[in-house]
Structure 1
């Protein structure tokens, strides 16, 4: 696989999984190699979830109101994901546990798309279907825009730096 930029190191997302057979029947020693990854994801996920919960306590949403805190958490988390992805693929050859810890763990625990769905469900149950639909659309569009914009800005900054 060719790197996206000269000097960039690009690896498959999960080099241990090559086919469906390797998922069903792990090779000898393969399971033991995954424990550090699972540990990194677990610790990162716990930290991200605590950060998300703390944010929701600091800026609570009233019952029946638009869930701005959940939207802000998801948009911020997606922007960080966009920046992080570019940095670890185009700029920095990270340790093999950085992506699972920060990308999957911390950012996966921080972004709260499950809470977003519960917020939408509660709005519908309270008769706020229009607000629920707005929340559905705004969250998805804002999250995608945040990833794209953050990745684009990060790439431009990296290109300026390498000139």
Structure 2
């Protein structure tokens, strides 16, 4: 049963990542990977909300598997982030590569903390 929840979450998260990445990237005429940045930060926010809800007792282990493992696991992408950062470096856009690394880590951690804080405010 648990693996079905992960599969269902992944089946939603993977196309959501692709469609969000395409929609965001089409709106920006820059080499910076805004689409990947967006899905990773949103995924961190969702994971923070789910984690905070779980700690408060408001999210079951099934919901954690569906949203945390399945959806967020497929929505976020460390491999694409790494590849795009490497590509920026190889293409001579080292400043953008550095910004991508720093901004992704800071925004991702910030989003997790915001998600947890919102969950605590709602369910504590």
Number of the residue aligned with 2:46: 80
Computing the radius of gyration from Cα coordinates, the structure with the larger value is 1
Give the TM-score, by structure 1 length.
Answer: 0.68
Provide the rounded CA distance (Å) in 1 between the counterparts of 2:29 and 2:5.
35
Question: Per-residue displacement from partner, 1:78-109 (whole Å, max 9, x unpaired)?
Answer: 01111111112214252x43221211001110
Change (3 A) 1:64 1:58: closer
CA contact (8 A) 2:21 2:34 kept: no
Aligned length: 123
Question: Per-residue displacement from partner, 1:62-87 (whole Å, max 9, x unpaired)?
Answer: 79611112111111110111111111
Uncovered stretches (5+) of structure 2, i.e. residues with no partner: none
Question: Per-residue displacement from partner, 1:12-49 (whole Å, max 9, x unpaired)?
Answer: xxxxxxxxxxxxxxxxxxxxxxxx22222122112101
User: Which residue, 133, 137, 142 being the options, matches 2:102?
Assistant: 137
User: Whose helix fraction is larger, Structure 1's or Structure 2's?
Assistant: 2
User: Which residue, 31, 53, 69 being the options, matches 1:104?
Assistant: 69
User: 3-state DSSP class of the match of 2:31?
Assistant: coil
Equivalent residues in 2 for 1:10-159, closer than 5 Å:
36-60=1-25, 65-92=31-58, 94=60, 96-159=61-124
Give the TM-score, by structure 2 length.
Answer: 0.87
| Aligned-pair Cα RMSD in Å | 1.9
Provide the rounded CA distance (Å) in 1 between the counterparts of 2:117 and 2:105.
18
Question: Per-residue displacement from partner, 1:106-161 (whole Å, max 9, x unpaired)?
Answer: 111011222111110110111111210110111011101110122113212334xx
